[in-house]
Amino acid sequence: MTDAAPVRTSASIRRPYGRGVGNTAEVRGRWRSLSPLPPPGRLRTLSLATLANTVGTGLWVTGAALFLTRAVGLTPTQVGLGLTLAGLVGLTASVPLGGLADRRDPRSLRAVLQLAQAAVAATYLLVDSFPVFLLVATLDALLICGNLAVRGALVAAVGGPEGRVHAFATLRAVANLGVALGAGLAAFALVADTGWAYRLLVLGNVATYLVSAALIMRLPAYPPSRRPQRQGPGRALRDGPFLAVAGASAVLSVHHVALTLVLPLWVVAHTDAPPVTVSALLLVNTLLTVLLAVRLSGSARHALPAATTMRRAGLVLAAGMLLWAASAVVPTTAAIGLLLGATVIYTMGDLWHAGAGAALAYDLAAPDALGAYQGVDGLLAGLVRAAGPALLTWLIIDGGPIGWLALAGLFALTGLAVPPLTRRALGSRSPHLG
């Protein structure tokens, strides 16, 4: 009894505080469930590096056009043409730098590329003519495209075979959060609307590259495989079955253009919804991506389940396109509801596509050439993104609802094609590919 008394007294003393402690733990638990940042560890470090990097992306993307036109003095046509040409040239860096990541430590290589991007980003302050702008933008695009392929190899190294899709989804959620934060910070420069305000955005972007590089170097080194490189990085370009699957995923990736370019124009030109609806739609997409990217990635860690998920993504994306089309023929309130509902559906398809695409790009790649294969995957997606704006604006903005129907059919058929293409790719793998 004497042993029990202190226990009751202790419990009676702690009980009044138990509710507060429980609430604190509950709040922390809820925050962890909402926050895209993973628990402490290597993936947390890589996530923080991604967060820093994408805050800079948000700063630059939001203010780049105004900086280049209002502070530098370029015309909108020059900016558009320069970025298009630079983007096409930049795609050529994906495979070579991805292959380099297979032969070098992807952590160190990515950190070096981040430092190089910081230097190139700073040179935007020296741009005073279109030729100089085109040169800087091309160097920037080469580094961006190559860096994405190297990032794919680094994510695979950090996550390992069983965790790389989860890591990819985590970084996508963090990236969306970072871009949103950067865009919010850039609003101050847009409000000020002065040359120095826009130059501060450039310097902010430079700083985030430096922070990201420093965080990346906190990761351990990942020495390359000692397997002999029999065919070099070019073999990914000769892997027909892989190209077919990656090409199908690239076709589906044109949905990004539908959301960010075509849908805003559609809302304004073809529906009775107010223009502010566009901001609401993009906000819904961003929030759902931050909250659900990791949760929806668990069913697509390997090729065959990922192919099934990709088929589902294609069908769900098609449904979203049909609802966006219907928004043109209903009154204002119904149009807003359809647009919001379709955006929720679209985002589910978007997230399933992203997770499944990452799993297929990793699982169908040669184990000793992950970087090169990620480079090819990025190259195909980049080509589609380059063609997408002109194609989709003609198809949908000029074609009306029938254009959305055609795009929905393309997504559905492409999604249905992925499982048989994946089985063919698995059947054609050499024994050394697993």
Q: What is the pLDDT of residues 260-317, one digit of tens each?
A: 889 998 998 899 999 889 889 988 999 999 998 888 876 677 899 999 999 999 999 9
What span, in angstroms and rounded, lies between the C-alpha atoms of 61 and 179?
A: 9
What span, in angstroms and rounded, lies between the C-alpha atoms of 255 and 63?
A: 24
What span, in angstroms and rounded, lies between the C-alpha atoms of 328 and 333?
A: 12
Reported as a single tens digit per residue, the pLDDT across 215-270 is 999 999 998 765 545 555 578 888 999 999 999 999 999 999 999 889 998 998 89
Same domain, 278 and 341: yes
pLDDT at residue 410, as a whole number: 97
Same domain, 424 and 284: yes
Same domain, 59 and 89: yes
Number of neighbouring beta carbons within 10 Å of residue 48: 18
Same domain, 204 and 57: yes
Residue 12 above 70 pLDDT? no
DSSP, collapsed to helix, strand or coil, labels residue 369 as helix
Does 24 map to a domain?
A: no
Of 173, 221, 209, which Cα lies nearest the Cα of 42? 221
Q: Quick one: tokens of 72?
A: 């530098």
Q: In the block, which residue shows the tokens 């075979």?
A: 161
Q: How confident is the model at residue 9 (pLDDT cuts 50, 70, 90)?
A: very low
Q: Where are the beta strands (DSSP E) in 192-259?
A: none
Residue 187 above 90 pLDDT? no
Residue 200 above 80 pLDDT? yes
Q: Taking a C-beta distance cutoff of 8 angstroms, is the pair 339, 283 a contact?
A: no
Q: What CATH number is given to the structural domain containing 265?
A: 1.20.1250.20
Does 31 map to a domain?
A: no
Q: How many domains does the chain have?
A: 2
Query: In the chain, what percentage of residues exceed pLDDT 90?
Result: 63
pLDDT at residue 284, as a whole number: 92
Same domain, 202 and 246: no
pLDDT at residue 32, as a whole number: 57
pLDDT at residue 155, as a whole number: 94
Which of these three, 216, 247, 280, is where a domain ends?
Answer: 216
Same domain, 346 and 272: yes
Does 396 map to a domain?
A: yes
Residue 207 above 90 pLDDT? yes
More confident of the two residues 38 and 47: 47
Q: Taking a C-beta distance cutoff of 8 angstroms, is the pair 46, 167 a contact?
A: yes
Mean pLDDT score across all residues of the chain: 87
Does 74 map to a domain?
A: yes
pLDDT at residue 161, as a whole number: 86
Does 228 map to a domain?
A: no
pLDDT at residue 299, as a whole number: 65
Mean pLDDT of 76-89: 89
Same domain, 208 and 250: no
pLDDT at residue 17, as a whole number: 40
- The helix (run of H) or strand (run of E) holding residue 166 is helix 130-192
Mean pLDDT of 155-167: 90
Quote the domain boundaries for residue 91.
41-216
Q: Taking a C-beta distance cutoff of 8 angstroms, is the pair 91, 98 a contact?
A: no
Same domain, 306 and 361: yes
Q: Quick one: tokens of 257?
A: 């253009």
Q: Taking a C-beta distance cutoff of 8 angstroms, is the pair 199, 66 a contact?
A: no
Same domain, 265 and 338: yes
Minimum mean pLDDT range among 142-156, 183-197, 330-344: 183-197
Same domain, 131 and 208: yes
Mean pLDDT of 343-359: 95
Does 156 map to a domain?
A: yes
Reported as a single tens digit per residue, the pLDDT across 383-394 is 998 888 889 989
Q: Taking a C-beta distance cutoff of 8 angstroms, is the pair 281, 339 a contact?
A: yes
Residue 30 above 90 pLDDT? no
Residue 160: burial class (beta carbons within 10 Å; 0-12, 13-18, 19+)? exposed
Same domain, 147 and 237: no
Residue 61 above 80 pLDDT? yes
pLDDT at residue 296, as a whole number: 83
pLDDT at residue 428, as a whole number: 81
Same domain, 285 and 211: no
Query: 226 phi and psi, to 5 degrees?
Result: -90, 5
Tell me the pTM: 0.82
Q: Taking a C-beta distance cutoff of 8 angstroms, is the pair 189, 63 a contact?
A: yes
Residue 325 above 50 pLDDT? yes
Minimum mean pLDDT range among 13-27, 114-128, 166-180, 256-270: 13-27
Does 135 map to a domain?
A: yes
Does 237 map to a domain?
A: yes
pLDDT at residue 24, as a whole number: 54
